Amino acid sequence: MMDFNASKSLSAQLTALIDAGMQRARAEQGKRGYLGASRLGADCERQLQYEFADAPVDPGRETDGRLLRVFERGHLIEDCMVGWLRAAGFDLRTRDDEGEQFGFSALDGHLQGHVDGVIVAGPDLGFGSGYPALWENKCLGAKSWRELEKRRLEVAKPIYAAQVALYQAYLGLHAHPALFTAVNADTMEIHAELVPFDATLAQRMSDRAVKVITATEAGELLPRAFADPTHVECRMCPWQDRCWRAAP
């Protein structure tokens, strides 16, 4: 008799092999050892402490292969967007003269950020646009992309808004609005918006970094953002069990 489950078994076997290979490659990259500017806008400061301290995640909460593939898709779409913008006439730089990604380091290296690129010249986009300008790109699922298109960056994606403000501040790219783009992973539609520099947000996030780093180094746990471990953000947190076993 024919085995109608053969293809499913093959898919599962191949996926497991790919996942294992990706997880090995991720492990070989080593630990980051700093607080990433791209995460400072997260709701929970205690979660940021765990990230900064590189605390072991709860058993079974390791980043799986599927999510690693999602991350890689984002990098591939970013590369595509670089090519599309350059073909459209934008002078987009993604590396410095030494071939390194543009970024910054502050607080004795404990706070770092790496930007997608800087546009130094290009078409006039109007609405107060100008150059040089920070460029940040995201690849989003259809639902998340539609929310961004409807509600705009500041409301729909406050973590990304904080990331943009910090990059503009620390790289001195605050004179002109940043160009933020997002690609719909399902339809390949492009959302774009100009993001003026928000000095208040940048200062608040910079102060938050100091708070998180100082408290972590002193062995002090900051308050949780939520009062219930069943809150959706807590359920998704890799340190949920560790956090709720700790002090209030």
- pLDDT of 3 reads 52
Report the predicted TM-score, pTM, of the whole model to 2 decimal places.
0.90
Q: What is the mean pLDDT of each run of 10 residues along the chain (248 residues)?
A: 60 91 84 90 96 92 87 95 98 93 96 97 89 98 97 97 98 97 97 98 98 97 94 94 87
CB atoms within 10 A of CB 37: 26
SS3 8: helix
- Region at 85 (left for phi over 0; alpha for psi -120 to 50; beta for the rest): alpha
Q: Which residues contact 73 (CB under 8 A, 6 or more apart)?
A: 139, 185
pLDDT at 2 (0 to 100): 45
Residues ≥6 apart with Cβ < 8 Å to 173: 118, 132, 133, 134, 167
How far, in Å, CA of 196 to CA of 73, rounded? 28
Cα torsion 220, 225, 226, 230: sign: negative
Q: What is the pLDDT of residue 199?
A: 98
pLDDT for the residue numbered 25: 87
